[in-house]
C-alpha cells in the first residue's frame, strides 16, 4: 500500500479517470444490458455474436503468440551492457517466409468461411423455411421511425410489434436522412438511405421488449433516435393487429378527452393522423404522408405541415418521442408544451402553427395541453361494438371534429394560419357576409359541395376536391363544426 501512495499524482488521476470509463465500456458486455449484442434473442443476432466470438478468440491467440514472441526475443536477445558485438545478421530465410505466409492465409480462410456463410444467409431476404414471413416497411424520418405492415394494412411509428419465431422481412427506406437501423439483441445493422431501398430480416425467439437504436451519426437528434421492438406471442400479435383495426371509443361528452379531441383536430391533425383503423385508411395515410412531404419540401422554410408519426392507438405505446421517454400524462404534457426540451431538432416545433411563438412554446393554455394529452392517452382499441365497417355508416363519422381531422385538416388550420387553404378561425362569421343572398350555412355548404364556386383572394382554384361524396349528414356535421371555430 505504501508503494501505491507513491504513484505520481498524474498517474493516479489518470487511473481515477480511466476506471469509470472502462467500467462503462465493459458494462456494454453484460449480456442482459438492453443494448448488449451478447445476450441475443434471435438467430440473426446470435449468428453474428457467434462469429464475433470466433474471430475474437482467433485474434486473441494471434495476439498472445505474436506479443509473446516479441517479448521473449527482446529479453532473450537484448543487448548486454558489456558487449559491443553485433548479433548474427540474416535475411531471406525461405522456410520462415513460407511459414509466415501460409499461417495467415489459413487464419483468414478460417475466418472467411463462416463470415461469408453468415452474410449469404442474412443478405438474401427472409428465409421461407423458418415460418410465414411478415413483411414490414421501415421508413426513416427526421426524427422518428415509421413502420408499415402492407400485409395487414397497419401503419404505426417508433414501436414495432413482431410475432415470436417468425421471420420478418424489412424493406428499409428513408425520407430525408440516413439512419442506421439496429436492434442490438435481434439483428443489425443496415442503413436506411433515401432513394435506395435496403433489405434486412430478423426473427425474435424470445417474447419481450427490445431496444432499437440508430447506429450512425445522422444529425442533431442522432442520440435520440431510438425505437422499440415488441416481440409478441403469435396470439398477442394477432390481437394487436386486430386492435389496430378497431376504432377507439368516442370520448364521453364534456370530458377532458372530448375537449382534447377537438383541440387535436384543430391544432395537430394537419400532420398527425390518429384514426387509421377503417378499411382504406392505410392507403389514405400513405397518400397523406406523401402530401405532407410534398407540402414540406416545396417550402421548407415556411411550410405549416411536415411528415409526422401516425398516432393511431397512441395510448397503447410505452414510449414517447421515438423511444426517448416513458409515455405518461406528465411526459406528454412536457412534450406538447415544448418538444425540443425532450428532443432537440424536432420538426414539429419548427412547423406547427401552435409553436409560432416568441419562446417556441405551444400557444395553448395548460388545461388545453393537459386535455390533448388525456385524449392521446385514451387512444386505444375500443369496445369494438362499432367494428371497422360499422364505423363508416354509423353515427360515429358524423362527429364534426373527426370529419374535419380526416378530410380537411391536411389543408386547413382551425386558426389563422394558411396551409394550402385559408385558416378557418371565424369562418362562420365571414361566411355570413361573403355572398349576397347566402347565409353562413348556405355559403359553407356550397363551398364544400362545389369548392371553386367561391375562391377567396390569394388562393388557387382547382385544388380542393368536392366533398359531395361525404353525404348530406356529414356535410351538415362539418358545417356545424366549422361555425364553432373562433
Ligand atoms: Cu439516425 Cu443517427
- Taking only the tens place, the pLDDT of each residue in 461-484 is 666 777 877 888 888 888 888 888
431 lines ligand 1 (CB under 6 A): no
| Confidence at residue 454, expressed as pLDDT on a 0 to 100 scale | 79
Indicate which atom in ligand 1 lies nearest the CA of residue 223: 2
222 lines ligand 1 (CB under 6 A): yes
Assess contact for 257 and 371: CB atoms under 8 A.
yes
Confidence of residue 7 (pLDDT cuts 50, 70, 90): low
363 lines ligand 1 (CB under 6 A): no
Q: What is the pTM for the complete model shown? A: 0.79
Cα–Cα distance, 333 to 374 (Å, whole number): 9
Burial of 79 (0-12, 13-18, 19+ CB in 10 A): exposed
β-pair partners for 137:
148, 171
Measured in angstroms, how far is the CA atom of residue 311 from the centroid of ligand 1?
22
Cα–Cα distance, 128 to 133 (Å, whole number): 6
225 lines ligand 1 (CB under 6 A): yes
Provide the 10 A C-beta neighbour count for residue 275.
20
Cα–Cα distance, 302 to 263 (Å, whole number): 23
Tell me: the pLDDT tens digits for 371-415?
Answer: 999 999 999 998 875 444 434 444 444 778 878 877 787 677 777
How far is residue 78 from each of residues 67, 84, 90, measured CA to CA in Å?
16, 12, 17
Burial of 325 (0-12, 13-18, 19+ CB in 10 A): middle
Tell me: the pLDDT tens digits for 211-253?
Answer: 999 999 999 999 999 999 999 999 999 999 999 999 999 898 8
The set of residues, in sequence order, having a beta carbon less than 8 Å from that of 166 and lying 6+ positions away, is 130, 131, 132, 133, 134, 203, 234
DSSP state of 468: G
216 lines ligand 1 (CB under 6 A): yes
CA atoms within 13 A on the CB side of 21: 6
Provide the 10 A C-beta neighbour count for residue 357.
11
| Confidence at residue 393, expressed as pLDDT on a 0 to 100 scale | 40
How far is residue 448 from each of residues 330, 406, 445, measured CA to CA in Å?
39, 15, 5
Nearest CA among 130, 124, 117 for reference residue 203: 130
322 lines ligand 1 (CB under 6 A): no
Asked if the bond preceding 15 is cis, omega within 30° of 0, the reply is no
179 lines ligand 1 (CB under 6 A): yes
| Confidence at residue 439, expressed as pLDDT on a 0 to 100 scale | 86
The set of residues, in sequence order, having a beta carbon less than 8 Å from that of 302 and lying 6+ positions away, is none
Cα–Cα distance, 297 to 300 (Å, whole number): 5
Indicate which atom in ligand 1 lies nearest the CA of residue 215: 2
Tell me: the pLDDT tens digits for 91-113?
Answer: 888 998 999 899 999 999 999 99
Instruction: Please report the beta strands in 130-271, taking only residues with DSSP state E, as ranges in sequence order.
Output: 134-141, 144-149, 154-157, 159-163, 168-174, 179-183, 187-192, 198-202, 208-214, 226-232
Tell me: the pLDDT tens digits for 11-38?
Answer: 788 888 888 888 877 776 788 888 888 8
221 lines ligand 1 (CB under 6 A): no
SS3 of residue 211 by DSSP: strand
Measured in angstroms, how far is the CA atom of residue 296 from the centroid of ligand 1?
21
Indicate which atom in ligand 1 lies nearest the CA of residue 177: 1
How far is residue 121 from each of residues 92, 276, 299, measured CA to CA in Å?
44, 36, 44
Maximum Cα–Cα distance across the chain:
119
Amino acid at each position: 500500500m505504501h508503494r501505491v501512495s507513491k504513484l505520481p499524482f498524474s498517474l493516479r488521476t489518470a487511473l481515477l479517470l480511466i476506471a469509470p470509463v472502462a467500467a462503462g465500456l465493459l458494462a456494454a458486455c453484460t449480456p442482459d444490458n438492453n443494448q448488449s449484442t451478447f445476450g441475443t434473442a434471435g438467430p440473426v443476432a446470435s449468428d453474428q455474436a457467434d462469429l464475433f466470438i470466433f474471430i475474437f478468440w482467433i485474434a486473441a491467440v494471434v495476439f498472445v503468440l505474436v506479443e509473446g514472441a516479441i517479448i521473449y526475443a527482446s529479453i532473450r536477445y537484448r543487448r548486454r551492457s558489456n558487449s559491443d558485438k553485433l548479433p548474427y545478421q540474416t535475411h531471406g530465410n525461405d522456410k520462415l517466409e513460407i511459414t509466415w505466409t501460409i499461417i495467415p492465409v489459413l487464419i483468414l480462410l478460417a475466418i472467411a468461411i463462416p463470415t461469408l456463410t453468415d452474410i449469404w444467409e442474412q443478405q438474401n431476404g427472409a428465409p421461407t423455411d423458418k415460418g410465414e414471413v411478415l413483411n414490414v416497411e421501415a421508413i426513416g424520418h427526421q426524427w422518428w421511425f415509421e413502420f408499415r405492415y402492407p400485409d395487414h394494412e397497419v401503419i404505426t411509428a417508433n414501436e414495432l410489434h413482431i410475432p415470436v419465431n417468425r421471420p420478418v422481412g424489412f424493406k428499409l427506406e428513408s425520407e430525408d436522412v440516413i439512419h442506421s437501423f439496429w436492434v442490438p439483441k435481434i439483428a443489425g445493422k443496415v442503413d436506411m438511405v433515401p432513394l435506395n431501398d435496403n433489405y434486412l430480416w430478423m426473427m425474435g425467439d424470445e417474447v419481450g421488449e427490445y431496444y432499437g437504436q440508430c447506429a450512425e451519426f445522422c444529425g442533431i437528434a442522432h442520440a435520440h433516435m431510438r425505437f422499440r421492438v415488441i416481440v409478441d406471442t403469435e396470439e398477442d400479435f394477432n390481437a394487436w393487429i386486430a386492435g389496430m383495426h378497431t376504432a377507439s371509443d368516442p370520448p364521453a361528452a364534456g370530458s377532458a378527452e372530448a375537449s382534447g379531441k377537438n383541440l387535436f383536430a384543430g391544432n395537430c391533425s394537419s400532420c398527425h393522423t390518429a384514426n387509421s383503423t377503417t378499411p382504406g385508411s392505410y392507403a389514405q395515410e400513405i397518400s397523406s404522408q406523401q402530401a405532407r412531404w410534398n407540402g414540406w419540401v416545396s417550402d421548407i422554410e415556411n411550410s405549416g405541415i411536415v411528415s409526422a408519426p401516425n398516432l393511431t392507438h397512441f395510448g397503447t405505446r410505452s414510449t414517447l418521442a421515438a423511444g426517448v421517454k416513458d409515455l405518461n400524462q406528465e411526459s406528454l404534457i412536457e412534450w406538447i408544451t415544448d418538444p425540443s426540451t425532450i428532443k432537440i431538432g424536432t420538426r414539429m416545433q419548427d412547423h406547427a402553427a401552435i409553436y409560432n411563438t416568441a419562446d417556441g412554446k405551444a400557444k395553448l393554455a395548460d388545461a388545453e395541453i393537459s386535455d390533448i394529452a388525456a385524449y392521446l392517452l385514451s387512444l386505444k382499441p375500443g369496445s369494438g361494438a362499432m367494428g371497422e365497417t360499422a364505423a363508416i355508416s354509423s353515427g360515429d363519422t358524423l362527429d364534426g371534429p373527426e370529419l374535419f381531422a380526416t378530410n380537411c385538416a391536411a389543408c386547413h388550420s382551425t386558426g389563422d394560419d394558411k396551409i394550402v387553404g385559408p385558416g378557418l378561425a371565424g369562418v362562420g362569421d365571414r361566411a355570413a357576409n361573403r355572398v349576397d343572398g347566402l347565409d353562413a350555412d348556405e355559403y359553407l355548404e356550397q363551398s364544400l359541395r362545389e369548392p371553386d364556386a367561391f375562391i377567396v383572394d390569394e388562393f388557387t382554384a382547382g385544388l380542393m376536391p368536392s366533398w359531395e361524396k361525404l353525404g348530406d349528414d356529414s356535410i351538415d356535421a362539418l358545417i356545424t363544426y366549422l361555425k364553432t371555430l373562433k
